Amino acid sequence: AKEAGKNRYAFFSEEIDKKNHDTLDMQTQLKSALDKKEFRLYLQPQVSSQDGKYVITGAEALIRWRTLDGKIYTPDKFIPVSESNGMIIPIGNWIVDEIFRIDKLLKEQDIDIKLSINVSSKQLEDNSLLYKIKDMYQNNALQRINLVIEITESILLQDIDKAIEVLNEIKSMGIGISLDDFGTGFSSLSYLTRLPLDYIKIDKSFIDDFAKPNTTNLTANIIAIAKTLNLKTVAEGVETLEQVNKLIEEKCDQLQGYYFNRPLDIPDFIEYANSMKQ
Ligand code: C2E
Ligand code: CA
Ligand code: CA
Ligand code: CA
């Protein structure tokens, strides 16, 4: 039995070595991807209904990794691992640089909208995001960027008072704060009042069943709670006209999803935004 235990240990340690090796490998690959400028931010439109017309009021930036041979990796393939190997910090800083650059490009095309970026709790924890954003605001003082950060309820797993402090400081620079994937995590309603939020993003899982008949659905209640707390609502994963109509009826402020468009590269986004102006 002892032998077997030893073997098993050897087996596990080999596994762990392999895991460490893979992680290290991924770290090297992500570093090289940053150097080679293989990351891209795509923009997915956020739409409001104004006087019976759809208007693009914002866009969410979603990262893609496009290798030189043309393969495109979605964030689930590299964001979680970048959070565990620390690469989320330099990648996150690049995202801030890039969103300022994109904002300039859009304004040159007369597209003046709110831009949201996704932010990992790790970037808030070590203040790197705060410093990066401060730096960018100082260096681009004349660029009136309308920026929103999307955070998830996982920030509640860290020191909550520290998180609130950092968020307050970010907010004091005029940046909006949006709680992503609302309803899927562990937030209690009391946290909602403590975090300095501006928006709640209703998770796609609620939107999926929203327009179906005879189902209990919390979407309308979430919108009502948000209104009580003076927060704006964004619905994510909107795919059908039925969902659009019901969300507008319930006075959801902004809609995002494949019904309008997928995340688009910058030239395609500009084309779409200009076509919506007509
Ligand atoms: P998320 O923030 O919840 O982003 C929404 C995801 O839903 C995106 O997937 C988007 O492409 C997809 N989506 C949008 N509309 C629809 C729809 O109508 N139907 C369906 N089925 N899907 C829709 P994506 O781009 O693969 O991103 C996945 C996740 O990766 C994001 O979830 C976010 O948590 C993370 N992520 C993406 N970009 C970044 C980033 O720049 N930084 C960080 N830290 N995380 C990111
Ligand atoms: Ca998001
Ligand atoms: Ca989301
Ligand atoms: Ca989601």
Q: What is the distance between the alpha carbons of residues 176 and 139, in angstroms, rounded to a whole number? A: 20
The whole-number pLDDT of residue 1 equals 45
Count of helix runs (H) and strand runs (E) in the chain: 11, 9
Q: What is the distance between the alpha carbons of residues 71 and 131, in angstroms, rounded to a whole number? A: 33
Q: Average pLDDT by consecutive 10-residue portion of the chain (278 residues)?
A: 51 62 82 97 97 95 95 96 96 98 97 97 92 95 95 86 93 96 81 91 94 87 94 98 96 98 98 91
Q: Which helix (H) or strand (E) holds 66?
A: strand 53-66
- 264 Cβ neighbours under 8 A, 6+ residues apart: 42, 43, 44, 45, 272
The whole-number pLDDT of residue 2 equals 47
Taking Cα atoms as reference points, which of 253, 134, 154, 251 lies closest to residue 195?
154
| Atom nearest to 263 CA in ligand 1 | 11
Q: Which residues line ligand 1 (CB under 6 A)?
A: 44, 62-63, 74-76, 79, 95, 118-120, 180-181, 236-239, 257-258, 263
The whole-number pLDDT of residue 234 equals 98
Residue nearest to atom 22 of ligand 1 (CA): 237
Ligand 2 centre from 118 Cα, in Å?
A: 5
Of all ligands present, the nearest one to the C-alpha of 237 is 1
